Amino acid sequence: QQQPEKDASDSQNIDDSSEENRLSWIQQQLDALQANANQSLPNSTSNPVKKSNSTSEDLWEKPCDGLEVFTSKGVISSEKIAAFDMDGTIILTKSGKVYPTDENDWRIGFDTCFKKLKQLCADNYKLVVFTNQRGLMKSASTDNFRKKIQHIQQKLNVPLQVFVAIHSGRYRKPCTGSWSLLESKYNDSIKIDKSKSFYVGDAAGRPDKWRAKAKKDHSCADRLFAANIGLQFYTPEEYFLGLNKASYEMPKFDPKSLRLIQSLLEPATATLVSNKTEVIVMCGLPASGKSWFVNKYIVPRKYEYVNRDVLGTWQQCVKMTEIALTKKQNVVIDNTNPDKESRQRYIEVAKKFNVPCRCFVMNVSVEHAKHNNLVCYTPYLENN
């Protein structure tokens, strides 16, 4: 994590509270001077750019639960989007801490930010910020944060549109819900040309010491966000300072690398359902696809559905299984059943009624399950 920089108007009052902060600031300036002036970054084109009229006033909107959108006066919709993360990219903390101490603990992150953003506006780019702010979920009001956003925009003195994702879900990066809303509602029906657009963010998956004294990136959400949309991606140091690309690590699971399923079951010769009374015990992580599989392929074959989320306790699940077997009905147990003890309960019931019991294991890795469910998997994995 780099130490914060003063913006252009404050450059004469650089915080010299520590020698390390001073040297860090000087190093960033040297890096900027030494950067390749001819770096391959977006610039103006000779072709006419599709754009709208500018907005006449500042406006805050809440298009849906968990998302707020700020559009400053002067915003002009365009086919070219210059998109940025906020924390660690457009701004850094004055305090030098990872998280701001209050709504006033911020400063513009790079001296070149002012010039770069103004040039983008001159080149007919629309400036858009996408920021994750889940901490606001616990706040009674977002008024102070709204003021912070407007103060940042006023300091930069360029028109901005800002998407603030407050909840987890489709609008939080790296999910693309906020971008989709930009395309469908917040760009005046002008189709965005992704080949002319780009995104800049600091959550880039860079390892510890990717640069002298630099800490590991907290995630790669910004890089994934750009990849999911199909945008060219830059880190703040690449875009604002002209530094060379740093090494980075992506998640172990890549959905694009999934193979096509050749057979529903492994081995392919396995039997899906039985004509005789039996018990099927599902086994797999949350978000591994158990319920989808069961409801699509098993329940329609007249299997009694047993699920702890519906019945409340494992005792009720066992009781329902016994009732179904008494009626000579097939049963499918749609629970995680991660341990031997939980599976053994249904094996014993099957033995009691002298019927076969099969276990269907979802062939899904932990990383795959995490990808499928970014919200609900965490408590389960921590407890198991």
Q: Is residue 59 very low, low, confident or very high in pLDDT (cuts 50, 70, 90)?
A: very high
* Gyration radius of the chain over CA positions: 27
In this structure, are strands 357-361 and 330-333 parallel, antiparallel, or unpaired?
A: unpaired
Rounded to a whole number of angstroms, the distance between the first and last alpha carbons of the chain is 32
Comparing 37-51, 134-148, 195-209, 258-272, the range with the smallest average pLDDT is 37-51
pLDDT digits (tens, 9 = 90+) for 222-240: 999 999 999 999 999 999 9
- Lowest-confidence pick of 31-45, 67-81, 134-148: 31-45
In this model, does residue 166 exceed pLDDT 80?
yes
Contacts by 185-189, CB closer than 8 A, 24 or more apart: 185/63, 186/69, 186/71, 186/77, 186/161, 187/52, 187/77, 187/78, 187/81, 187/126, 188/52, 188/77
Q: How far apart are CA 14 and CA 11, in angstroms?
A: 6
The two counts, helices (H) then strands (E), for the chain are 12, 15
Report pLDDT digits (tens) over 328-381: 999 999 999 999 999 999 999 999 999 999 999 999 999 888 888 764 444 444
Cis peptide bond N-terminal to 159, omega within 30 = no
Of the ranges 141-155, 157-171, 258-272, 369-383, which one carries the lowest mean pLDDT score? Answer: 369-383
Mean per-residue pLDDT over the chain, rounded:
88
Confidence of residue 259 (pLDDT cuts 50, 70, 90): confident
Q: Render pLDDT for 174-190 as a digit per residue (tens, 0 to 9).
A: 999 999 999 999 999 99
**Structural domains of the chain sorted by starting position, each given as residue range(s) with its CATH number in brackets:** 8-18+45-240 (3.40.50.1000), 255-384 (3.40.50.300)
**Tell me, what's the pLDDT at 83?**
99
